[in-house]
Chain A
Amino acid sequence: MLTAVKNQLRVCALSVKYNMMREMLNKVTFLTNILFMVLNNATFLVQWMILFRLKEDIGGYTMDEIMLLWGLTASSYGLSHILFAKAFSLSDLIINGKLDSYLVMPKNVLLSVITSSTSTSALGDLLYGLIIICFFCFSIQRFFLFLLFTVTGAVIITSFAVLMGSLSFWFIRAEMFGQQMLDSMINFSTYPDGIFKGTVKFMLYLVIPVGMSVYQPIHLMVHFQIGRMLAVLGYTVLLAAAAVFVFYRGLKRYSSSSLMSART
């Protein structure tokens, strides 16, 4: 059992490594993508500087906490797109019957699919997150919590992407709906939860998992509580399990398009 898990993880690591090597073939493009993504994220500093000129706190957040929010969102999003970029185009594989080449592989299908590509610009997102935690509200404890929540956030985002992508096994046009939900997750996660009230806040914890991927971790980095941290970890495991379950249930409905394709 342990050997099988170890082998699977080794295959995933190799897959990510080769994806990255392929992206690095053109070094100028590779570096430009990373650098410009850091700058791209940094432009939003202007937005918050303007808003904080108007009010001292926004939704109960100070400027440093907003930066922490942006940093964690960027690094979670970045890590999920570095390791599991294909999870975000799962619908396309399902609709066009391109899963065949993964089904014949002797390893876990879902992991093989989602680790089969990477996004170069996501390295810029991850780097931006790390720069933010080092320059705004740095402490050793907060840094390690940031790393932990980057991982849980990445797992939550990827699981949500797999859940949304898997809808294509059952529904027509689900890919558009799924994409909108993923976009909305990013949109909500860059604004403080204090500006939302009532039903919206409830939805951000139960329908779109922004609450557990970003908001709770930010609150924990400001005021640590072990119970809340366990809740975040438990939620991450449950959502990942739900994503795996739904994907394999859906896979039973998958039909090939007889398209000749190879795993890239």
Chain B
Amino acid sequence: MKKYAVIYRSVLMENLQYTVNIVMSFISYFIFIFVFIHLWNYMYDSPGETIAGYTKTQMIWYVIMTEMIWFAARTATVTRQVTSDIRGGNIAYLINKPYHYTFYILSRYTGEWNIRLPIFAGLAVIAGTIMVGGLPDFRAVTLLASLPCIILGITIQGVFKLCISLMSFWIEDSNPFQWLYDKLILVVGTIFPIEIFPASLQPLFKLTPIYTVCYGPSKLIVDFSPEKWVEIIVAQLIYLAAGCGFMLFIYSKGVKKLYVNGG
């Protein structure tokens, strides 16, 4: 574990040098939220109205939280870097190192989002409070309880995106699959809470990564309940274990297909 901690620390220190760039990337986040505030302002006819059990403030805070997770986890390490390592042959050097390639990538990914998440969270809370006001009935203990879910959600997201990138062992470009996965998460779990979909589809969505990556942590922040917390954290642990198993399986199969052209 020590070697992964060293990798994590070095990436963390490296990313601390680029905090201004991360703050600049908040503009995109802000515009996304800004558009959604206007959209939900239009959709809600009166302040007291609820849609799928969410008040307007809850709905906007739900989007603020899901987008915060989405933007914090949006790093090129688990996507472009892995694809380019495999396509460009750099992986031939990396698999000889005294670490497992997939955990090396996940350590780098963790170092990156550990900087991005606090910055995005701080700016998102400030922007949200100014634009829509505070979340009613929100308590500090809710945040403490939701934090492990947010961390697990971002880690699951990294593991699944890494699994897709590892498909580059078989196909030249795994990016199109990343687009589809991203849109699945974005459209079904990020923009809306699952409750807004027809009741027949909701159990199906609970079986997908959407439930553990975006919906779960954000739902806890806007509408916390201990039962929901247990349900979400158990689902996340199962998902993480299954995701890691799948990742190691794909990697072990893919690396056998690797051949070196020299150079």
Contacts and interface: CB of A to CB of B under 8 A. Distances in A.
A42 to B, nearest CB: 9
Given A176-B25, A183-B28, A44 B183 contact: yes
Contacts of A33: 173, 175-176
Given A180-B28, A187-B32, A47 B187 contact: yes
Interface of B: 20-21, 24-25, 27-28, 31-32, 35, 38-39, 41-43, 51, 171-173, 175-177, 179-180, 183-184, 187-188, 191-192, 196-197
A139 interface: no
Q: Is the interface of A mostly helix, strand, loop or mixed?
A: helix
Contacts of A32: 171, 173, 176
Given A43-B187, A50-B197, A177 B42 contact: no
B35 A121 contact: no
B213 to A, nearest CB: 16
Contacts of B172: 26, 28-29
Nearest to A188: B35
A18 interface: no
B42 A59 contact: yes
Contacts of A55: 43
Interface residues of A, number: 35
B31 A51 contact: no
Contacts of B25: 176, 180
Contacts of A121: 175-176, 179
A135 B176 CA distance: 24
Interface of A: 26, 28-29, 32-33, 35-37, 39-40, 43-44, 46-47, 50-51, 54-55, 58-59, 121, 173, 176-177, 180, 183-184, 187-188, 191, 194-197, 200
A194 B191 CA distance: 19
Given A28-B171, A37-B179, A195 B38 contact: yes
Contacts of B51: 54
A51 B191 CA distance: 11
Contacts of A28: 171-172
B167 to A, nearest CB: 11
A11 B254 CA distance: 43
15 contacts: A33-B176, A36-B179, A37-B176, A39-B180, A40-B180, A40-B183, A47-B192, A176-B21, A177-B24, A180-B27, A180-B28, A188-B31, A191-B38, A191-B39, A196-B38
A191 B31 CA distance: 12
The 4 A-B residue pairs with the shortest CB-CB distance, nearest first, are A36-B176, A180-B27, A43-B183, A184-B31
Contact of A176 (B24, B38, B175, B197): B24
Contacts of B171: 28-29, 32
Given A187-B35, A188-B31, A188-B35, A29 B179 contact: no
A33 B174 CA distance: 9
A58 B40 CA distance: 10
A58 B173 contact: no
